[in-house]
Amino acid sequence: MSDLSSFPITKKWPARNSDLIQLYSLPTPNGVKVSIALEELGLAYEPHRIDFGGNEQKSPEFVSLNPNGRIPAIIDPDGPGGKPIGLFESGAILVYLAEKTGKLIPADPAARYEMLCWVMFQMGGIGPMFGQFGHFHKFAAEKVANNSYPVERYRDESKRLLSVLEERLKDRQWIMGDEYTIADIATFPWVRGADVFYGGREVLDYAGFPAVMAWLERCLARPAAQKGLELPAKP
């Protein structure tokens, strides 16, 4: 069994099998990226559910793995050089898992960088902007009831980002063409989430982005996506 005792997070969420990848997450748009990738890659892992209700993501044990106090985070007992490694930030975790396995990432170097552009587009654009849209449109709707500016700003930016994705996908099956990659896995949970979690389908004019909608359906039809979207499950 691997020794993970140098990771304080394992005191609060003990590993049952310390030889497996330990996932600390919740089925949110950022959280499910990692469970979907792990399912797609067929890597064995132990999911630990982090309870936002109890603010567990801000507990000292969690923050010892991710100083930013946000899910997802992982420990891989079999990291570089066979030594355990802890990782946070969903984009970095996806790149790590893809490079570790050589899957979900193009082998061609130029295509690999092109894919990284789209991963960064999600991390710096779609995630933060859709997140702010959801905050003002749904969760803080009462606080901005007398001021339409925040919703309009993030709605319009989210729609602009969707139009960029629409252009990319109008003649492609996946973001990188024929190959399903971590760029798709990073992005589709947010397009789904803006509808499922924020009720944004009409406001964001999803019907006006047919290529994105068809791609989302293809992503959601994958068995690994269906499984990963539910993990870590409720106890």
Ligand X SMILES: N[C@@H](CCC(=O)N[C@@H](CS)C(=O)NCC(=O)O)C(=O)O
- Site for ligand X, rule CB under 6 A: 28-31, 52, 57, 69-72, 89-91, 127
For ligand X, give the closer residue by CB, 29 or 84. Answer: 29
> What is the Cα–Cα distance from 154 to 162, expressed in whole angstroms?
12
Task: Provide the minimum distance between the beta carbon of 183 and ligand X in the complex, in angstroms, as a whole number.
Answer: 14
Task: Please report how many Cα atoms fall inside a 13 Å half-sphere around the Cα of residue 55, on the Cβ side.
Answer: 3
Minimal distance, residue 212 CB to ligand X, in Å = 20
Asked if residue 192 lies in contact with residue 225, where contact means CB atoms within 8 angstroms, the answer is no
Q: CB of 91: closest distance to ligand X in angstroms?
A: 6
Q: Note the Cα 234 to chain centre separation in Å.
A: 18
Toward ligand X, which CB reaches closer, 84 or 125? Answer: 125
- Taking the least distance from each CB to ligand X, the nearer of 18 and 127 is 127
Query: Which among 24, 8, 15 is positioned nearest to 87, based on CA atoms?
Result: 24
Residue nearest ligand X, Cβ-based: 70
- Say if residues 180 and 118 touch (Cβ distance below 8 Å): no
Please say which residue, 57 or 158, places its beta carbon nearer to ligand X.
57
Sequence-ordered strand ranges (E) for the chain = 21-25, 45-49, 73-76, 85-88
Q: How far is the CB of 194 from ligand X (least distance, A)?
A: 12
**Do 84 and 2 contact (CB within 8 A), yes or no?**
yes
Q: How far is the CB of 187 from ligand X (least distance, A)?
A: 12
> Cα Rg for the chain, rounded, in angstroms?
18
